[in-house]
Structure 1
Amino acid sequence: MLCLFPTGIKDDTTYMRKVTRASKQRNRLLAELRAFKPKVDLISEICILLLGPVGSGKSSFINSVKSVFQGRLTRQAIVGSDDTSITEQYRIYSVKDGKDGKYLPFMLCDSMGLHEEEGVGLCVDDIPHILKGCVPDRYEFSPHKSITPDHPVFIASPSLKDKIHCVAYVLDINSISSITSKEVAKFKEVQKEVLNCGTALVVLLTKIDKCSEILQDNFLNMNNSMTSQNQIIKVSKMLDIPIYNIFMVENYASELELDPLKDTLILFVLRQMLRIVDDILEDLPLETGNLAPFPLLS
């Protein structure tokens, strides 16, 4: 009998029905994100900073988001698999809607990987400067010394639009149990700066096994599988971050074509981050032009 499905895809009507519905949901999410506008007029673009260990999928997430809006796979952000960080510059990536389309009102910021040892990876002292918008695009990081106000490229008076509005911790879901106490301590050190700046904070769990099993039929809620829930709860307790701010996502890695299931999950996570930022911006004291401190989590 003639096989109508590509190699590796089983003849499963339930699966194909899910793909069809995912395509419709992807288009709805694309339309919503294309029409998105920050609630605060002083901010034209939401800046999302990705932080996490080397190899967790920060650059891959950036490439995945850009790929969905480009309609083809793109690899602008350099991805590496070495133990040391491939990313050595601070990069701010705009997201363009299609080849000749407009730039969308959100940007993704990439940085060096966090490391448990001092003098390796991103210097924690750089974090406050990044959050406040004092670090320019393509700034060359030094693991041993943070940027200072007397640095020639230091932005002394950043505007509200230059600041980071959301920080996303990016973690490999398969390595949660291997996170050391030193790594947790560094995450919490960074977290204090994030919360003090009034910046939204979420977690992206990457490298999930099967995207099709994570998404429920309505493509809006995560699957309540025991494995997924256990990992989410573990991360929530470990980092003191609410469960509703923890998301699972499958980045594009070695694929050659886009997948509507992956697209849907990527777009869903992006939309949720933007919504969280909008909720925080509603409390913005416009008369001061500063973000209000975000309440510490219990």
Structure 2
Amino acid sequence: MAMRTRLTWEQEKYLRNYFGEKKFCLLYKASVQEFAGQNLLYKCQDQGPTMVVVYSEKYVIGVYLQEGFQENKVSTTLFTIQETGLSPCALGPCLPLSLFRYEETSDFFILLDKKTVTISSEIRKVLRLPSLSGDTFIQECEAFRCDELLDERKTRGIVGLCSNLLDALRNYKPYGDLVHQTRILLLGPIGAGKSSFVNSVKSVFKGSITHQASVGCDRNGISDKYRTYSIMSKNDSGPLPFVLCDSLGLSENEGLHTDDICHILKGHTPDRYQFDFRKPITPNHPNYIHDPLLKDRIHCVVFVFDINSFNQLSCELVAKIKQIRRDLIKHGILHLALLTHVDSLTWITKGDLLDIYSCNPVKVKVSEEKSYHVAKT
């Protein structure tokens, strides 16, 4: 029978935030392998850092053994997980076996055969549990091996994956060799992080921090010109096969004019063109590109959104973005979304960055964003 933990992903986040980047591997589950202390000890022997969690009707109570189950005393930390977070209590060095048998002078022990956990009043106070007399009955008990999430093997895998992805981008060739570089236009609300993304991409391929695109915290945005950025590799082998195009941010009134977007898509807008939200570029502009080539046109559009503030977009701005998307579909231009500031999202830990697409906080936010934009239609 497959075992699944009762820990929610929010509770696992609390544990990782306190104990570090760990992967919790379920070793024992009392409802499956019987409420028996010897069964738990057998499964946990010589497993390294171990955590035992018991579930009562209202509380989640656990004990973390830094050195795991062994004959000598080990560093031990008790904890409870409640809606407000994790409350720890350092129990000090103790024998692991003593935590699972009755001892009159003990501040904490679990009796699996009786399905009870006993906690002294002093420890209850530290753990922010109510001062109750008698034992607390438990409904479930689980034991986990606590592996380092960022071990050397996984780190090597990440480095290898990054290297392969960078090589794929360096060796990318636009379809049919019709153009030497694919032009990618970044569109999004003011402050979403378009220019910062440009700097990040340039820094990755250069191998050092670069700051070519202006960034800042102005509520009206920093980018006020149309800029095209070729990406250079650190080995000076020439520009990479794509160009990032930055523009003025979108807003209800003072942002990028929708007519300017059409001119950019068709290749009429020159590099370093100064935007004016009150009026778009016209053919009378001295640098207007009257006969753009295929290489001057936009081949892909990326909508950039701050994952932390999508629900602050106004109905007017959402409607504007939807209209732009309809125009892109009409022109047959590929478009996709880029979510920025993911690392500052609540509940995010370093371990989540290993596989951000399967990270629950990100999936929840993406689901909320889809629902929000549908509701704003």
TM-score between the two structures when normalised by the length of structure 2: 0.56
Q: Residue in 1 aligned with 2:175?
A: 39
d(CA) in 2 for partners of 1:95, 1:238? 35
d(CA) in 2 for partners of 1:10, 1:213? 9
* Structure number with higher strand proportion: 2
d(CA) in 1 for partners of 2:238, 2:151? 33
How far 1:155 sits from its partner (Å)? Answer: 0.8
- Selected match of 1:194 from 328, 333, 349: 328
How far 1:101 sits from its partner (Å)? Answer: 2.7
d(CA) in 2 for partners of 1:96, 1:145? 34
d(CA) in 1 for partners of 2:199, 2:244? 10
Q: Residue in 1 aligned with 2:232?
A: 96
| Range moving further from structure 2, 201-210 or 56-65 | 201-210
d(CA) in 2 for partners of 1:11, 1:171? 28
The one-letter amino acid paired with 1:115 is S
Q: Percent identity?
A: 42
Question: Residues 99 and 88 of structure 1: is their aligned pair in 2 closer, same or farther, counting only changes over 3 Å?
Answer: farther
Q: Residue in 1 aligned with 2:150?
A: 15
d(CA) in 1 for partners of 2:372, 2:297? 27
Asked if 2 retains the 8 angstrom alpha-carbon contact of 1:56 and 1:171, the reply is yes
d(CA) in 2 for partners of 1:239, 1:161? 33
- Selected match of 2:294 from 143, 152, 160: 160
d(CA) in 1 for partners of 2:149, 2:267? 47
Q: Residue in 2 aligned with 1:235?
A: 369
How far 1:193 sits from its partner (Å)? Answer: 2.0
Secondary structure at the counterpart of residue 302 of structure 2: strand
- Selected match of 1:65 from 183, 201, 204: 201
d(CA) in 2 for partners of 1:237, 1:200? 22
Q: Residue in 1 aligned with 2:35?
A: none
Secondary structure at the counterpart of residue 308 of structure 2: helix
Secondary structure at the counterpart of residue 152 of structure 1: coil
d(CA) in 1 for partners of 2:349, 2:182? 27
d(CA) in 2 for partners of 1:14, 1:222? 17
The one-letter amino acid paired with 1:59 is S
How far 1:10 sits from its partner (Å)? Answer: 5.6
d(CA) in 2 for partners of 1:186, 1:54? 13
Higher-RCO chain (CA-CA 8 Å, sequence separation at least 6): 1
- Selected match of 1:181 from 306, 311, 315: 315
Coordinate RMSD, CA, aligned: 2.1
The one-letter amino acid paired with 2:321 is F
| Range moving further from structure 2, 227-236 or 84-93 | 227-236
The structure with more radius of gyration: 2
TM-score between the two structures when normalised by the length of structure 1: 0.71
Question: Residues 154 and 239 of structure 1: is their aligned pair in 2 closer, same or farther, counting only changes over 3 Å?
Answer: farther
- Selected match of 2:218 from 82, 92, 96: 82
Secondary structure at the counterpart of residue 40 of structure 1: helix
The one-letter amino acid paired with 2:217 is S
Structure 1 segment 118-157 matched on structure 2, within 5 A: 118=253, 120-157=254-291
Q: Residue in 1 aligned with 2:357?
A: 222
Q: Residue in 1 aligned with 2:305?
A: 171
d(CA) in 1 for partners of 2:160, 2:303? 29
Deviations 1:88-143 (A, max 9, x none): 11000000011523100000000011012x2x021111010000111010001101
Secondary structure at the counterpart of residue 27 of structure 1: helix
d(CA) in 2 for partners of 1:124, 1:130? 10
How far 1:33 sits from its partner (Å)? Answer: 1.2
d(CA) in 2 for partners of 1:101, 1:72? 16
The one-letter amino acid paired with 1:228 is V
How far 1:196 sits from its partner (Å)? Answer: 1.8
Asked if 2 retains the 8 angstrom alpha-carbon contact of 1:127 and 1:193, the reply is no
Q: Residue in 2 aligned with 1:27?
A: 163
d(CA) in 2 for partners of 1:11, 1:229? 20
Asked if 2 retains the 8 angstrom alpha-carbon contact of 1:51 and 1:114, the reply is yes
Asked if 1 retains the 8 angstrom alpha-carbon contact of 2:311 and 2:372, the reply is no
d(CA) in 1 for partners of 2:175, 2:349? 32
Question: Residues 192 and 52 of structure 1: is their aligned pair in 2 closer, same or farther, counting only changes over 3 Å?
Answer: same
The one-letter amino acid paired with 2:293 is S
How far 1:239 sits from its partner (Å)? Answer: 5.1
Asked if 2 retains the 8 angstrom alpha-carbon contact of 1:188 and 1:239, the reply is no
Asked if 1 retains the 8 angstrom alpha-carbon contact of 2:302 and 2:338, the reply is yes
Secondary structure at the counterpart of residue 15 of structure 1: coil
Asked if 1 retains the 8 angstrom alpha-carbon contact of 2:229 and 2:243, the reply is yes
Question: Residues 69 and 156 of structure 1: is their aligned pair in 2 closer, same or farther, counting only changes over 3 Å?
Answer: same
Question: Residues 68 and 60 of structure 1: is their aligned pair in 2 closer, same or farther, counting only changes over 3 Å?
Answer: same
Q: Residue in 1 aligned with 2:92?
A: none
Deviations 1:29-75 (A, max 9, x none): 11111111112221211111111111111001101111110011111
The alignment of Structure 1 onto Structure 2 pairs a total of residues equal to 226
Question: Residues 239 and 45 of structure 1: is their aligned pair in 2 closer, same or farther, counting only changes over 3 Å?
Answer: farther
Deviations 1:127-184 (A, max 9, x none): 1000011101000110100001121111111111211111111111000221221110
Asked if 2 retains the 8 angstrom alpha-carbon contact of 1:131 and 1:197, the reply is no
Question: Residues 126 and 211 of structure 1: is their aligned pair in 2 closer, same or farther, counting only changes over 3 Å?
Answer: farther
